Structure formats: C-alpha cells, structure tokens
Amino acid sequence: MVEFLVPPGTFTSSTQVSLQTSSPLAEIRYTTDGRIPTQLSSLYTGPFTLTESTLVKARTFETGRAPGKVKAESFLKLSSNLTEFTSDLPVVILENFNAGAVPSSASLQATQFSLFEPDETTGRTNLTFVPNRLPPLRNQTAGFFHTE
C-alpha cells in the first residue's frame, strides 16, 4: 500500500509530494490527471513538485501480486492573498482540478470537497489548516454529487 508522507491540504506556490511503500520489491506508479494508475503510469523515483491544484493517485505494483489499492490525495493551490484569510464560520472548497464548468449532462467530473472548520482555541477558520475531507466525489450535475 502507498503512503503519502506529506499530508494533503493547501499550498500557495508549490508543494513537494513524497510517497513510500513498506514492500521493498514493489514499485509505485502514480497519476496527476485523475486516472487510476496502471503499470504504464509514471514511476515514482523520488519527491515530485506540484504547482497547481492536483489529485494525485498512486498504487503499488509487485511481480506475482495483484496491483495494490489505489490511494488518492488532493493538494489545493490557494491564491497567496488567501493565506491571511480567517473567518468565524466554516469554509467549504469544491475543487474540480481544472475540469471546467460543472457538467449539465450525465457525465461525471472528479471533485474534492474540503471543509475547513474553526480552530477550537481561536474560533477562527484559516485555509492553511488541514481540512476535513470527504472521499473524492463525482460531480454529475449542478448540486448532485456521488462518492467514488
């Protein structure tokens, strides 16, 4: 199984993604376009840099074994002027990873739902906190979401 060494969340200019697996014989393959990784996907050889909001999916491949479970994490790029933003209300971000407008037909679109809640001590929400997240969603039409 793949483990993300950097927690998912927000960043402003770039962020490094590091992965690992407990099996020394397994290789990690990953995608940054929302597709399920295959043996032809990018081979993980070391940390890689993200500069845009990205859904990273990764899984292990090991000779003689079935492919590992897909692990997905999202990294959301914020405008630098949002790092100082605070609110006494929760904040929700729906990110579709540059897929364009919400579809009006039955087609599906990957969407990440992130909930930023006020800090228990200060009572303020900050978008640099690690969000509470639902599993990745599939946005079918405006207002309707399905879990993957």
- Which one is predicted more confidently, 60 or 107? 60
In this predicted structure, what is the pLDDT of residue 88? Answer: 95
What is the CATH classification number for the domain harbouring 18?
A: 2.60.40.10
**pLDDT for position 139:** 47
Q: Which two tokens stand for residue 80?
A: 């630098």
What pLDDT is recorded for position 141?
44
Asked if residue 94 has pLDDT above 60, the reply is yes
* Average pLDDT, rounded, for the chain: 86
Of 39, 58, 77, which residue is a domain's last? Answer: 77
- Assess whether pLDDT exceeds 50 at residue 145: no
Long-range contacts of 31-40, Cβ-Cβ distance < 8 Å, separation of 24 or more: 31/56, 31/57, 31/58, 32/56, 34/97, 34/110, 36/70, 37/70, 39/67
Residue 136: is its pLDDT beyond 90?
no
Domain final position from 77, 99, 119: 77
Residue 100 — very low, low, confident or very high, per pLDDT cuts 50/70/90? confident
Give how far Cα 143 sits from Cα of 74, 121, 137, Å.
21, 33, 12
Total of domains in the chain: 2
pLDDT of residue 26: 97
Last residue of a domain, one of 77, 101, 122: 77
Whole domain around residue 107: which residue ranges?
80-147
**Number of helices (H), then strands (E), in the chain:** 0, 16
Residue in 73, 91, 74 with CA at minimum distance from that of residue 82: 91
Report how far residue 84's alpha carbon sits from residue 113's, in angstroms, rounded to the nearest whole number: 21
